[in-house]
Structure 1
Amino acid sequence: MGKTLMSRRQLLLNSGISVIGLSLLPAFPGSALAVASTSDTLSGFMSFCRLAPGHVNLDEAIGSQLYAALSAKDAAFVENFGKLAEMVKRDGYPDVEALDAALAGNTLRDTLLSIIRAWYSGVVEDGTGAATRRK
């Protein structure tokens, strides 16, 4: 009985991210996935992501897919993420709240929020794009 059970919220979050992340894989061209597959790039992204959403146990396969999707969606993402990661490395923010406060009025805050949103929702696009049908 020494094991801690995963909370229902955490289970739903992990399941949703896994399903959505895996479903994104075939939607992106090989060149975008290749960008995220380099070990240094992925390692840096995953290291940053442990700070941004505040979780230590993140799946690298999902991280790779999210990086590829974010890069494909926004041509400036790679450059902006590099600046953001360098800022964190240089200034050593203890948590995402301190980083967010430091980014007030800075366009890099949008990059931070897009990474956090991607991890929590599994979505990189604004809106759903889903059509509704009324009877």
Structure 2
Amino acid sequence: MKDNNNSEEKSELSTSGRFRRNLLSRSGSLIAGFALVSGGLTAVPALASTENNDASDFTAFIRLSRLLTGHNSLDIQLGERLYSAMCQQNAQFAGWVKQLSDYVQQNNIPDVETLDEKLKQHPLHEPMMAIVKAWYSGVIEPGYHATVYGYQQALMYQIPRDGMVIPTYAHNGPDYWVANPPPVDRLLTF
């Protein structure tokens, strides 16, 4: 009976600890956001707040991204960040997405390989490749000063995830501290 109470207490402690960590991380992000705005810098706006982007454009982007990456379960929040950033980087991007989507529908393109072959010498090939690179790398521009829109969610880390740790200085991978530590089989003696 006493052991059962201890396990309930530990469960409550770990739940409250997780809640505190999440609260601390969210409040830190909020403070950083206020600091950026008050300092005159602007953060990447959310998709809903952009004037020249609407929900149908974003839906077309996600549909096109699923075809281009071959993955149906893409992270929608990452998609919002990538789409918003790519539209900010180039005012023609939303139009390119529409043109690519129309081309795919009109030509009954079944996969990215077929589309790549048909667009080899076409001006839409470059925006197509930019979308693929963004989803796989989590960035939209080259160089070591590039803004990272998705690290853990980048597709280049999803495929080998079962056998490879995402590169990081945290030895057990990003956010390793949220998982329970492995059980101690025996105590080390020194």
Do the aligned residues in 2 keep the contact of 1:36 with 1:42 (CA within 8 Å)?
no
RMSD: 2.5
Tell me: CA distance 1:37–1:63, structure 2 relative to 1, closer, same or farther (3 Å).
Answer: farther
**Equivalent in the alignment of 1:80:** 96
Runs of 4+ displaced beyond 2 Å: 29-39
Q: Please state if 1:115 is matched with 2:139.
A: no
Residue deviations 1:33-66 (CA, integer Å, cap 9, x gap): 5258732122111111110011010111111111
Query: Which entry has the higher C-alpha Rg, 1 or 2?
Result: 2
Give the structure-1-normalised TM-score.
Answer: 0.69
Query: 110, 120, 130: which is aligned to 1:94?
Result: 110
Name stretches of at least 5 consecutive residues in structure 2 with no aligned partner: 1-32, 34-41, 147-190
Do the aligned residues in 1 keep the contact of 2:133 with 2:140 (CA within 8 Å)?
yes
Q: Secondary structure at the match of 1:58?
A: coil
**Number of equivalenced pairs:** 106
Percent pairwise identity: 34
Greater relative contact order, per chain length (Cα 8 Å cut-off, separation 6+)? 1
Distance in 2 between residues matched to 1:100 and 1:35, nearest whole Å: 31
Q: Secondary structure at the match of 1:107?
A: coil
Q: Which has the higher helix share?
A: 1
Name stretches of at least 5 consecutive residues in structure 1 with no aligned partner: 1-24, 131-135
Query: How do residues 3-18 of structure 1 correspond to structure 2 at under 5 angstroms?
Result: none
Tell me: CA distance 1:31–1:40, structure 2 relative to 1, closer, same or farther (3 Å).
Answer: closer
